[in-house]
């Protein structure tokens, strides 16, 4: 089960950060639910002794009867523990907190998506209204996950991540919506740009860590990363034979491919990057790679 969830997170790719944010929100809601539930727990009263030992000895009027042995002919009764009661519904403060968090999450999600696809919007010459429609399509799955996370939090559970099959179905639906907005030619150009998103994230994180890449270095590094990824993983970003493997086998195969990608990129950037820049690159790739169990 853990391996399947790790593999699912891997397939999600750039959405992983958003899902982690969602799960943290769920944990917060679950803690609030647990705290609220504890105030409603019933404390069983302590057993009440009928008289102290001294009272029983001094009271000669009491007739002591021997304990009645259980009926040996009846099977021993087993105690059945009642299932724990469901957590109480979220109070108004918790619901209002969720609304605030959800609004902030949506705003940040849309802003990040706009920055991530800003160059694609420029290349396609999309007006502002079409940009907003594309952002709506690109973020609807993450917003749906957030709603599911909140619903799961109300029952004290973590949300189930979508299976690879469900994700592929969602991707087909998303592509169909994008094609209607962008047209066939625009959609093909958009998908080419979208395939470079993982590599653009790597370059962005390198810049955040002070790699100081020049514009020329960034462009050449993007070409190296994209070409290496397509060579090893294919244009889909995931090896096609993974679907026929068990989750553990698929995770192991992906880790091997990721190690090969890291080595391939390392060999190809030797003449492009300074040693410190190359070290930063390897650190970013390792951080984004699936880790062994």
The 10s digit of each residue's pLDDT in 59-109 is: 444 444 455 555 555 555 555 566 666 666 667 787 777 778 888 888 999
Give SS3 for 210. coil
When pLDDT is averaged across residues 103-132 and rounded to a whole number, the result is 93
| pTM given for the model | 0.60
DSSP 289: S
State how far the Cα of 21 lies from the Cα of 32, in Å rounded to an integer. Answer: 17
State how far the Cα of 90 lies from the Cα of 96, in Å rounded to an integer. Answer: 10
State how far the Cα of 151 lies from the Cα of 137, in Å rounded to an integer. Answer: 22
Residue 154 near residue 28 (C-beta atoms within 8 A):
no
State how far the Cα of 180 lies from the Cα of 154, in Å rounded to an integer. Answer: 37
User: What pLDDT is stored for residue 14 in this prediction?
Assistant: 38
Region of 183 (left: φ > 0; alpha: ψ -120 to 50; beta: rest) is left
At 26, the pLDDT band (50, 70, 90 cuts) reads very low
In the predicted structure, residue 33 carries a pLDDT above the cut 80: no
State how far the Cα of 158 lies from the Cα of 37, in Å rounded to an integer. Answer: 17
Q: What is the mean pLDDT of the chain?
A: 74
What is the sign, positive or negative, of the torsion defined by CA atoms of 180, 183, 185, 189? negative
């Amino acid at each position: 089960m853990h391996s399947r969830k790790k593999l699912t997170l891997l397939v999600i790719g750039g959405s992983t950060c958003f899902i982690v944010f969602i799960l943290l929100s769920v944990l917060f809601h679950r803690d609030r639910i647990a705290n609220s539930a504890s105030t409603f727990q019933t404390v069983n009263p302590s057993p009440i002794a009928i008289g102290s030992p001294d009272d029983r000895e001094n009271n000669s009027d009491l007739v002591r009867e021997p304990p009645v042995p259980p009926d040996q002919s009846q099977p021993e009764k087993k105690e059945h523990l009642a299932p724990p009661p469901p957590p109480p519904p979220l109070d108004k403060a918790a619901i209002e907190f969720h609304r605030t968090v959800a609004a902030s999450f949506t705003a940040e999600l849309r802003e990040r998506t706009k920055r991530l696809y800003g160059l694609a919007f420029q290349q396609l010459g999309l007006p502002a209204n079409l940009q907003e429609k594309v952002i709506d399509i690109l973020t609807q799955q993450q917003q749906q996950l957030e709603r599911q996370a909140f619903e799961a939090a109300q029952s004290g559970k973590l949300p189930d991540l979508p299976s690879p099959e469900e994700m592929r179905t969602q991707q087909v639906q998303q592509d169909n919506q994008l094609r209607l907005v962008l047209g066939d030619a625009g959609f093909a150009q958009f998908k080419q740009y979208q395939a470079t998103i993982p590599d653009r994230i790597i370059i962005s994180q390198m810049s955040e860590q002070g790699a100081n890449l020049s514009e020329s270095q960034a462009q050449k590094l993007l070409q190296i990363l994209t070409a290496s990824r397509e060579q090893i993983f294919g244009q889909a970003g995931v090896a096609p034979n993974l679907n026929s493997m068990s989750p553990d086998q698929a995770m192991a195969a992906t880790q091997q491919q990721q190690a090969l990608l890291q080595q391939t990129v390392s060999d190809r950037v030797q003449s492009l990057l300074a040693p410190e820049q190359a070290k930063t690159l390897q650190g970013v790739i390792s951080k984004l790679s699936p880790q062994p169990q």
